[in-house]
């Protein structure tokens, strides 16, 4: 069987939405910065690229992948946009891998790009032609699953189902920030990050090469002082700004080829994409979806939880990885060892691809082999992917 292998990776550092270094760059700019570098790192000539698949979730449509292909002079390369909310970047890589496994393509650049700073507003018109601001709901609204309040639909519902306390999720947030800061200080992300020279509003230029969302000195005491997002829940409430994902800007991508193409062109693959999965679940239980997606992906790869060296389970809310660890019986010491959404940040469409990039780097540093990345996604979805370092 044809295998899909990853031959190069790259990402921007992750910026804070509306007040970070990347506020002057939109999702098109971020993709344009990442794709040529990832292609260059692969050593593959541009004319061999069959397609570009980029996730975009809050950018208003328009197929950024094709737009950027034309910007870069890749006029013969089409483009595909995908949107599976928080799992979109992972799904872009799955789409690429599936096309390659099917023998339809040999080289695909896949990933995601997100500028929540510059997210495009949508409007709706009524019969009289009056317009109002509008956002497409991720799922039909119900009392237990608000379509526009993921702090309930994901964060609080997950904590309630698994009996998690605020201390449980705050402790995880402290852990996540500590791991992210330690990774930054150790230079763990240096090779994967593509430095950007960003012009500030005052005309000065700054080199942006370090994730700016993690907070040094995050402690349980500091998090305990933060107000609940839903104070009406009283002692049952768990979600605060400190144990939820950030709003962020970033782009990330990988080059995926067939194993035969890599061998024929003398390219040493970084990793094999062993399997992937996407699942649906009741919207009110969205945060539990990794507990379904991870076993499904492992089963497709012929593996068990015990075979896996590292996991990253995105911290849309910290209740999500805590729930997955407890439900599946995963050793927490091998989960989110570089931080995740609550610390590194969650640039929605780029997150899945960013997780792949970081996972492969960490497997290499540890001399480990198998990693799983997983996340929940708005509307009652989840996804997972099994990666094997080569």
The catalytic residue positions are: 86, 346, 376
Q: How far apart are CA 79 and CA 160, in angstroms?
A: 41
The helix-helix angle for 319-328 and 290-301 (nearest 10°) equals 50
Q: How far from chain centre, in Å, is Cα 219?
A: 25
Q: How far apart are CA 248 and CA 213, in angstroms?
A: 8
Residue count (the chain): 390
How many Cβ atoms are within 10 Å of 95's Cβ, its own excluded? Answer: 20
**Closest-CA residue to 66 (of 89, 32, 41, 99):** 32
Q: How far apart are CA 387 and CA 308, in angstroms?
A: 10
**Closest-CA residue to 288 (of 125, 163, 170):** 163
Q: How far apart are CA 167 and CA 238, in angstroms?
A: 8
Q: How far apart are CA 139 and CA 85, in angstroms?
A: 11
């Amino acid at each position: 069987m044809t295998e899909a292998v990853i031959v190069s990776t790259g990402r921007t550092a992750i910026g804070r939405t509306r007040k970070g270094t990347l506020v002057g760059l939109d999702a098109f700019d971020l993709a344009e910065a990442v794709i040529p570098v990832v292609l260059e790192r692969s050593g593959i000539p541009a004319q061999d690229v069959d397609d570009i698949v980029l996730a975009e979730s809050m950018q208003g449509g328009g197929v950024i992948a094709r737009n950027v292909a034309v910007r870069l002079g890749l006029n013969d390369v089409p483009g595909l946009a995908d949107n599976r909310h928080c799992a979109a970047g992972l799904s872009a890589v799955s789409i690429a891998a599936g096309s390659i496994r099917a023998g339809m393509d040999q080289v695909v650049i896949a990933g995601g790009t997100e500028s929540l700073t510059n997210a495009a507003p949508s409007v709706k018109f009524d019969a009289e032609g009056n317009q109002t601001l509008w956002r497409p709901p991720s799922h039909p609204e119900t009392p237990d699953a608000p379509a526009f309040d993921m702090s309930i639909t994901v964060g609080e519902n997950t904590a309630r189902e698994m009996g998690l306390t605020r201390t449980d999720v705050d402790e995880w947030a402290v852990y996540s920030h500590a791991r992210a800061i330690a990774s930054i200080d150790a230079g763990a992300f240096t090779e994967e990050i593509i430095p950007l020279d960003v012009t500030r509003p005052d005309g000065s230029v700054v080199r942006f090469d370090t994730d700016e969302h993690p907070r040094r000195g995050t402690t349980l005491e500091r998090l305990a002082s933060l107000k609940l997002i839903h104070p009406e829940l009283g002692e049952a409430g768990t979600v605060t700004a400190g144990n939820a994902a950030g709003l962020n800007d970033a782009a990330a991508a990988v080059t995926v080829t067939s194993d035969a193409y890599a061998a024929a062109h003398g390219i040493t693959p970084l990793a094999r994409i062993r399997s992937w999965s996407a699942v649906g679940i009741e919207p009110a239980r969205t945060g539990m979806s990794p507990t379904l997606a991870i076993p499904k992906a492992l089963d497709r790869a012929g593996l068990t939880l015990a075979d896996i060296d590292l996991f990253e389970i995105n911290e849309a809310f910290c209740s999500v990885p805590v729930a997955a660890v407890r439900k599946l019986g995963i050793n927490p010491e091998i989960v989110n060892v570089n931080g995740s959404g609550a610390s590194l940040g969650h640039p929605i469409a780029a997150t899945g691809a960013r997780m792949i990039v970081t996972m492969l780097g960490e497997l290499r540093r540890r001399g480990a082999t198998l990693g799983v990345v997983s996340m929940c996604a708005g509307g009652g979805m989840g996804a997972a992917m099994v990666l094997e370092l080569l």
